[in-house]
Amino acid sequence: MTPEELEQIAETERAAQSQFQQRVHVCVAAGCMSCHSQSVKDALDQEVGRRGTKESCRVKGVGCMGLCSEGPLVSTSTGVLYKQVAAGDAAEILDSLEGPAVARLVCRTDVPFFQRQQKIVLENSGVIDPDRIEDYIAAEGYTALIKALTEMAPREVVEQVTKSGLRGRGGAGYPTGLKWSTVAKSVGTQKYVICNADEGDPGAFMDRSVLESDPHRVLEGMLIAAYAVGASEGYIYVRAEYPLAIKRLRNAIRQAERAGLLGANICGTRFSLRLDVRLGAGAFVCGEETALIASVEGKRGTPRPRPPYPAMEGLFGQPTLINNVETYANIAPIIRKGGEWYAQIGTEKSKGTKVFALAGSVQNTGLVEVPMGISLREMVFEIGGGIPEGRKFKAVQTGGPSGGCLPESCLDMPVDYESLARAGSIMGSGGMIVMDQTSCMVDVAKYFMDFCMTESCGKCIPCRVGTYQMHRILTAISTMSATKQDMSMLEELCDLLKHTSLCGLGQSAPNPVVSTLRSFGEEYRAHIDDHKCPAGVCGQQENGEQG
């Protein structure tokens, strides 16, 4: 494929699309699919067929539109977004294309949830059909790859990524440009690129949504990365719990191969890349890069001590670039528009935008992409629309089981890597769970510890036995049977796990406990001294278990 051929495909597709005066987009990502958006799409298709308007009206399945809690979502070419659409609404929606909107289904888009977002990673989500490469190409898809291959040296690609200030979106925030240049400079007979799509944090679904809505974007990012570091083979490690994402990804790989954008001698250059999908078997620890690599190699998915880092000795002992889905999804626009453009967005040390999965006790739950540096208060009360039913905000949990709970006093803090770390939490992969007065922080800490305990691989002793002991103490606290001695033991274990565990899972497993102890210590004391759960959660649970 040459740049001219790509432009040809884009123009043909744009021309084909402009033939339709009327367009109806139905979300077919997992969120809306789970509330039957497929039947809505089928009904719309049928209705269009019945009316014989197939030539002028196009019904298209698109990726995630963000406001998952109001699904199934349908948007139209008249600029209206409809929420909670049912199959029976098809006729009314089609009528509305030439008349007034269907008032009872209209979802307002002039609210902060939509207005405050800035979409880079998700720019195509909800717009293009994830199953058609032509649609992606019409939206400037693969132009960044062609630009990199035909106009830039690998070194220049790395330079742009470094300039952009992009940092790893998997959670740790390691500078992407630095990682790329390390792999580029490493010596090996074969280099690899890996995409980490083993998203496992409870309540997080950013990567799933990107893969379901815009799979080609991730492939393009990986292609550019492989070109920059000199890799010719790559793997996408997806958890098997994401069947739709896997299906679309495999389809995208097939289409890209057929178009000559993936495989041998891409675009007539010497650059080749073979990509394969590998499925995770449900172990959370396989999101840790060395465990993930072991799993791809066909071994038991357990982490190993670093150094050597994968950039030097990774997959099969060769230099390996391993980035998260969202990191790769940021690459194409950076190459297209330049690193400087990207570096204008965000804060001094955290550049660009971040996708968050907003969940828990907020009005609007779903997927949002916001510029770095936005305050937590804006996230929860403006974008999230505040706490439902007049309840009171208590905490926001970021970073999943490795993160922490931030109290009200942290609400005006900007959301960036450093600020979150200073407050005792982490950016993490982008899960954000809002909690109100009805949540007990001991119960929350226990939940996450239970998660870490079950997901510990069992290789190192502090994590394997430590998480068990911590979970035991937290269970004792929540059943009002803990003593002061248990508390000091809990604090000792937090310290031990943080400093002696082998990998990130164990090292960060105490975070939910440490952060709740710090900000909500009085709740722990109420359980232990007064045998009371201030939120009224633990008492009920105890009765429930006994009953």
Partner 1 sequence: MSLTAAVKTLRIDGRDLSGRQEETILDVARQHGIFIPRLCEMEGLSDVGACRLCLVEVKGQNRLLPACVTAVEEGMEVTTNSDRLQKYRRMILELLFTERNHVCAVCVSNGHCEMQMLAQGLDITHVHFPYRYPKVEVDASHDRFVIDHNRCILCTRCVRVCDEIEGAHTWDVLGRGIDAKVITDLNEPWGLSETCTSCGKCVHVCPTGALFEKGRSVAEMLKRRQFLPYLTLMREENE
Binding site for partner 1 (CB under 8 A): 283, 285, 300, 304-305, 453-462, 464-469, 472, 489, 492-493, 496, 499-502
Question: In whole angstroms, what is the distance from residue 27 CA to residue 40 CA?
Answer: 10
**Kind of pairing, strands 320-324 and 404-407?**
unpaired
Question: In whole angstroms, what is the distance from residue 332 CA to residue 464 CA?
Answer: 41
Nearest approach, Cβ of residue 485 and partner 1 (Å): 8
Q: What is the DSSP letter of 71?
A: P
Residue 227: helix, strand or coil by DSSP?
helix
Question: In whole angstroms, what is the distance from residue 485 CA to residue 366 CA?
Answer: 42
Nearest approach, Cβ of residue 349 and partner 1 (Å): 19
CB nearer partner 1, residue 359 or residue 449: 449
- Comparing CA positions, the residue from 109, 87, 18 lying closest to residue 55 is 18
Nearest approach, Cβ of residue 35 and partner 1 (Å): 34
Angle at 125 between CA 124 and CA 128, to 5 degrees: 60
Angle at 110 between CA 104 and CA 111, to 5 degrees: 95
> Are the C-beta atoms of 204 and 20 separated by less than 8 Å?
no
CB nearer partner 1, residue 145 or residue 473: 473
Gyration radius from the chain CA atoms: 24
CB nearer partner 1, residue 268 or residue 458: 458
Residue 192: helix, strand or coil by DSSP?
strand
Nearest approach, Cβ of residue 448 and partner 1 (Å): 15
CB nearer partner 1, residue 176 or residue 290: 290
Residues in the chain: 547
**Kind of pairing, strands 404-407 and 393-398?**
antiparallel
Nearest approach, Cβ of residue 487 and partner 1 (Å): 13
CB nearer partner 1, residue 264 or residue 461: 461
Site of tokens 């609210």: 111
CB nearer partner 1, residue 274 or residue 472: 472
Question: In whole angstroms, what is the distance from residue 82 CA to residue 107 CA?
Answer: 5
Q: Which H or E run contains 10?
A: helix 3-18
Residues 6 or more apart whose Cβ sits within 8 Å of residue 202: 400, 401, 431, 448, 451
Nearest approach, Cβ of residue 507 and partner 1 (Å): 9
CB nearer partner 1, residue 23 or residue 459: 459
Nearest approach, Cβ of residue 496 and partner 1 (Å): 5
Nearest approach, Cβ of residue 472 and partner 1 (Å): 7
Helices of type H across 19-55? 30-33, 37-51
Question: In whole angstroms, what is the distance from residue 41 CA to residue 141 CA?
Answer: 25
List residues bridging with 61 in a β-sheet: 26
Nearest approach, Cβ of residue 205 and partner 1 (Å): 24
> Are the C-beta atoms of 261 and 142 separated by less than 8 Å?
yes
CB nearer partner 1, residue 238 or residue 460: 460
CB nearer partner 1, residue 300 or residue 518: 300
Site of tokens 């269009």: 48
CB nearer partner 1, residue 163 or residue 472: 472
Nearest approach, Cβ of residue 171 and partner 1 (Å): 18
| Cα within 13 Å of Cα(527), Cβ side | 30
CB nearer partner 1, residue 488 or residue 540: 488
Say whether the peptide bond before residue 175 is cis (omega within 30 degrees of 0).
no
Nearest approach, Cβ of residue 486 and partner 1 (Å): 9
